[in-house]
Amino acid sequence: MKITLAQLNYHTGNFELNTQKIIEAINNAKSEQADLIVFSELSVCGYPPRDFLEFHDFINLCLKNVNIIAEQCVGVAAIIGSPTVNPQIEGKDLFNSAYFLADGKVQQIIHKTLLPNYDVFDEYRYFEPNRVFEIVNYKGKKLAITICEDLWNLNANPMYIQCPMDELIKQQPDCIINIAASPFSKVQINTRLEVLKTNAIKYNLPLFYVNHIGAQTQLIFDGGSCVLNSNGDTVKQLRHFEEDTIMVELDAINSMGIILQNKENEIINYQNIEQALVLGIKEYFRKQGFKKAILGLSGGVDSALVVYLAAKALGAENVMAVMLPSQYSSDHSVSDSEKLVENLGVKYDLISIEKTFDALQNTLNKQFENTEFGIAEENMQSRSRAIILMALANKFGYILLNTSNKSELAVGYGTLYGDMCGGISVIGDLYKTEVYALCDYINRNKEIIPKNILTKAPSAELRPNQKDSDSLPDYEVLDAILFHYIEERKGPQEIITLGFDEALVLRTLKMVNTNEWKRLQAPPVLRVSSKSFGQGRRMPLVAKYLG
Q: Which is nearer to its own copies, 34 or 281 (CB)?
A: 281
**Using CB under 8 A, which of 5, 48, 180, 278 touches its own copies?**
48
Catalytic residue among 45, 62, 73, 148: 148
**Residue 377 among the catalytic residues:** no
- Number of residues in contact with its own copies under rule CB under 8 A: 101
Q: Which residue of 30, 46, 80, 450 would you call a contact of its own copies, by CB under 8 A? A: 46
Which residues, numbered 509-528, are part of the site for its own copies (CB under 8 A)? Answer: 517, 520-524
- Does 268 engage in binding with its own copies (CB under 8 A)? no
Q: Per CB under 8 A, does 500 bind its own copies?
A: no
Residues 6+ apart with CB under 8 A from 499: none
14 binds its own copies (CB under 8 A): yes
> Please, what is the angle between helix 331-344 and helix 301-314, to 10°?
20
Which of 2, 21, 112, 292 is catalytic? The answer is 112
Q: Taking CB under 8 A as the criterion, which residues in 51-70 touch its own copies?
A: 51-52, 54-58, 60-61
Q: Which of the stretches 14-22, 141-149, 339-347, 456-464 binds its own copies when contact is defined by CB under 8 A?
A: 14-22
Residue 175 annotated in active site: no
Q: Show Cβ contacts of residue 507 under 8 Å, excluding neighbours closer than 6 positions.
A: none
Omega before residue 458 within 30° of 0, cis: no
Determine if 498 is a binding residue for its own copies (CB under 8 A). no
The SS3 call for residue 346 is coil
3-state secondary structure 123-161: HHHCECCCCCCCCEEECCEEEEEEEHHHHCCCCCCCCCC
Binders of its own copies among 89-108, rule CB under 8 A?
A: 89-93
Q: 330 burial class (0-12, 13-18, 19+ CB within 10 angstroms)? A: middle
| Active-site pick, 2, 21, 41, 490 | 41
What is the smallest separation between the CB atom of 343 and its own copies, expressed in angstroms?
24
Cβ distance to its own copies smaller for residue 454 or 546 = 546
Q: Which residues contact 541 (CB under 8 A, 6 or more apart)?
A: 516, 517, 520
Amino acid at site 173: P
Q: For residues 431 and 438, what is the distance between their CA atoms, to the nearest angstrom? A: 11
112 labelled catalytic: yes
d(CA 48, CA 293): 25
List CB contacts of 215: < 8 A, sequence separation 6 or more. 221, 279, 280, 282, 283, 284, 287, 526
Q: How far is CA 388 from CA 145, 255, 295, 357, in A?
A: 54, 63, 11, 11
What is the closest distance, in whole angstroms, from the C-beta atom of residue 248 to its own copies in the complex? 32
Q: In whole angstroms, what is the distance from residue 332 CA to residue 148 CA? A: 50
Nearer to its own copies, 30 or 112 (CB): 112
At 193, the amino acid letter reads: L
263 lies in the binding site for its own copies (CB under 8 A): no
Residues in 338-367 that interact with its own copies by CB under 8 A: 349, 351-353, 355-356, 358-360, 362-364, 367
Of residues 269, 327, 394, 471, which one binds its own copies by CB under 8 A?
Answer: 394
User: Which positions from 120 to 149 touch its own copies by CB under 8 A, shown as an x/- string?
Assistant: --x-xx------------------------
Chain-centroid distance, C-alpha 542: 28
Q: Among the candidate windows 103-111, 234-242, 266-274, 536-544, which touches its own copies by CB under 8 A?
A: 536-544
Helix, strand, coil content of the chain in percent (nearest 5): 40, 20, 40
Q: In the complex, what is the shortest distance from the CB of residue 257 to its own copies, in angstroms, rounded to a whole number?
A: 38
Of 469, 505, 502, nearest to 485 by C-alpha is: 505
Binding mask 240-259 for its own copies (x = CB under 8 A): --------------------
Stretch that binds its own copies, among 73-81, 172-180, 340-348, 531-539 (CB under 8 A): 531-539
Radius of gyration of the chain (CA): 26
User: Is residue 379 part of the contact set for its own copies (CB under 8 A)?
Assistant: yes
Under rule CB under 8 A, which residues in 286-345 are in contact with its own copies? 287-288
Quote the least distance from Cβ 85 to its own copies, whole Å: 12
Q: Which of 156, 267, 457, 503 binds its own copies (CB under 8 A)?
A: 156
Q: Which residues are catalytic?
A: 41, 112, 148
